[in-house]
Structures are given as structure tokens and as C-alpha cells.
């Protein structure tokens, strides 16, 4: 998989914000047509987004578009406009996906126009979380699943602004994504946008249960997320020492630096080194 750690949201109606985001530290820039755009500005935001895709045809980052809900006429119009555009984004984010059939619908539209665009559903409802395995495997276009925890908490009747235990839904989404071999992406820190330590703590909690990245609302959040999801120099150095020591043995398992090391451990350490080198 690609090294996509930070996913930066920016309103499609904010031309200056989009220009600032493209070329920033974020691995993926998400031009948003949904929640961050007022209803009166949505048509103009779509037009501006199509212009943005053309203006930034050559880019080092992934560029994504979050369309409106595909259970609405506006959302399907968003998908068709992007599918027929001369320049398309790398990814489409699909908000509030209810089940696999909604992803299949978008997949069919993209296939109709032979549009090479990846899909990234947002899991917002408890029912969708229980169908996450099916959603993750419904199309070869799937790039990842994103945990939209704010909407999830609202749908569950859980407090949004206070600290809440989200370990169970995080585990379920991570297992569904990792089981399908796609990215697991955590929600942004919306409750305390400028609190760097909260963003770092949330990112570490997500990483601990198998997430590959996290959404961001600012470039500062994106920088923190990149740092958390990039192996440190110490981790890389230890991984290389253990790999080298294991390869020097003729055993299937060996005790190295006090730990029992076998092939799965070494495979994981090699992936860590690769991820660090790919992430710069």
C-alpha cells in the first residue's frame, strides 16, 4: 500500500485554503463538497473543484474529493461530474455509507466512464460499522475506510466534545480494513483543533490498533499525524539490527535483544523500514 498518513480536509469553496493545502505536508488533500460547504455554495464549490483538478494535474500528493451523500441527487451529480472530468482526483470519499450497495452504485458510475478513481467510504453509522467487512471488499477500487467518529458518536448518543471510549469501533473498523488489505484511517481531532497533544494522543491510540493514518483539519494537525505514523530513527535502527541478527542465524526462531524473533516478526520489521523510507 501507499504511505498515506495524513488526510487534510479543506472546503471546496475556499480557493485560498485549497491552494495552501496542495503543496503542504499532508499526504492526501481532501477537497470537500459536503459538510464544510454551505448549501448555497455547493454548486460553485463543485465547479471550483473541477477547476482545481485541472490546475493541479501534476502534483506530488494524492488529491481526493469528498462528494455529497450518494443517497442524494446532488451526490450522484458530484460523482458523474468527476467521472466525466478531463482531470480526475485520485480518490473519492463517500460520506455516511450505509452498506456495500451504495459503494457498488458509485463503482458502477465510474466504470461507465472508465474513470480510474479510488474509493474511500466513511463509516458513520453503527449499522455501517457492522457491515464494514462487506463494504471493504465490495470493489477493487477500495483504497481505505475512514472512521467518521463525530457522526458515529452523534448516532450513538455519545458526547462529542467530551473524551469517550472509541476503542471498540476503532478495533472493528481496523480489522475490516486490514482484513481487506486497505487503509484504515482515523477521524480528525475536531473537539480541540489546536491542541497538538490531543491530536498526537489520538493518533497514537489509532496507530496502536492498526490504523495507517488519520484525518486532519489543519496543516499543523497533518504534521503531527505524519510524525506519529512515521517510524522514528530509533525504531528503524532497532529493526535493522534485529533483521541483521536474525539473518545471521540458521534458526527458525532466535532470542535477539531479549525478544523471541521469528519470520513474522522480521516481516513486520522489514515493512516498518520500508514505511519509514517511503515516508521520508
Examine the pLDDT at 280 and tell me if it is beyond 80: no
Q: How far is CA 85 from CA 6, 29, 45, 113, 262, in A?
A: 26, 18, 15, 10, 50
Q: Among 118, 111, 87, which Cα is nearest to 185's?
A: 118
Examine the pLDDT at 24 and tell me if it is beyond 80: yes
Q: List pLDDT tens digits, range 144-195.
A: 999 998 889 998 998 877 778 888 999 999 999 999 999 999 999 988 889 9
pLDDT bin (cut points 50, 70, 90) of residue 2 is low
Q: How confident is the prediction for the chain on average, in pLDDT? A: 91
Express the helix, strand and coil content of the chain in percent, nearest 5 each: 50, 15, 35
Q: List pLDDT tens digits, range 199-210.
A: 999 999 999 999
Q: List pLDDT tens digits, range 247-261.
A: 888 888 888 888 898
Stretch 25-48: mean pLDDT, rounded? 94
> Mutual orientation of helices 196-208 and 167-180 as an angle, nearest 10°?
60
Strands annotated E in 77-166? 91-94, 118-123, 144-147
Q: What grid cell was written down for 215?
A: 484525518
pLDDT at 165: 86
The DSSP line for 196-262 is HHHHHHHHHHHHHTT--EEEESSHHHHHHHHHHHS--HHHHHHHHHHHHHHHTS-SSEEEETTEEEE
pLDDT bin (cut points 50, 70, 90) of residue 232 is confident
pLDDT at 59: 74
pLDDT bin (cut points 50, 70, 90) of residue 1 is low
Stretch 217-232: mean pLDDT, rounded? 94
Global pTM value: 0.88
Is the separation of the CB atoms in 216 and 25 below 8 Å? no
Q: In the chain, what are the domains?
A: 6-229 (3.20.20.60), 233-278 (no CATH)
Q: Phi then psi for 114, rounded to 5 degrees?
A: 50, 45
Amino acid at each position: 500500500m501507499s504511505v498515506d498518513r495524513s488526510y487534510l480536509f479543506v472546503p471546496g469553496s475556499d480557493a485560498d485554503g485549497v491552494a495552501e493545502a496542495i503543496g503542504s505536508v499532508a499526504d492526501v488533500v481532501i477537497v470537500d463538497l459536503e459538510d464544510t460547504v454551505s448549501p448555497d455554495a455547493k454548486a460553485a464549490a463543485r465547479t471550483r473543484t473541477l477547476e482545481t483538478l485541472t490546475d493541479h494535474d501534476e502534483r506530488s500528493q494524492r488529491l481526493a474529493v469528498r462528494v455529497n451523500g450518494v443517497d442524494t441527487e446532488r451526490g450522484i451529480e458530484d460523482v458523474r461530474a468527476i467521472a466525466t472530468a478531463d482531470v480526475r482526483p485520485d480518490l473519492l470519499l463517500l460520506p455516511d455509507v450505509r452498506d456495500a450497495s451504495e459503494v457498488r452504485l458509485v463503482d458502477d458510475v465510474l466504470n461507465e466512464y472508465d474513470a480510474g478513481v479510488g474509493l474511500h467510504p466513511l463509516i458513520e453509522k453503527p449499522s455501517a460499522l457492522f457491515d464494514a467487512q462487506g463494504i471493504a471488499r465490495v470493489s477493487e477500487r477500495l483504497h481505505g475506510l475512514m472512521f467518521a467518529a463525530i457522526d458515529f458518536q452523534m448516532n450513538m448518543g455519545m458526547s462529542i466534545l467530551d473524551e469517550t471510549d472509541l476503542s471498540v469501533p476503532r478495533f472493528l473498523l481496523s480489522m475490516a480494513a486490514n482484513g481487506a488489505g486497505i487503509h484504515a484511517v482515523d477521524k480528525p481531532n475536531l473537539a480541540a483543533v489546536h491542541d497538538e497533544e490531543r491530536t498526537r494522543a489520538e493518533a497514537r491510540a489509532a496507530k496502536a490498533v492498526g490504523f495507517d493514518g488519520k484525518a486532519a483539519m489543519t496543516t499543523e494537525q497533518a504534521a503531527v499525524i505524519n510524525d506519529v505514523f512515521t517510524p522514528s530513527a530509533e525504531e528503524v535502527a532497532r529493526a535493522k539490527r534485529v533483521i541483521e541478527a536474525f539473518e545471521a542465524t540458521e534458526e527458525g526462531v532466535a532470542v535477539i535483544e531479549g525478544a523471541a524473533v521469528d519470520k513474522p516478526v522480521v516481516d513486520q520489521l522489514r515493512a516498518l523500514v520500508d514505511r519509514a523510507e517511503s515516508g521520508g
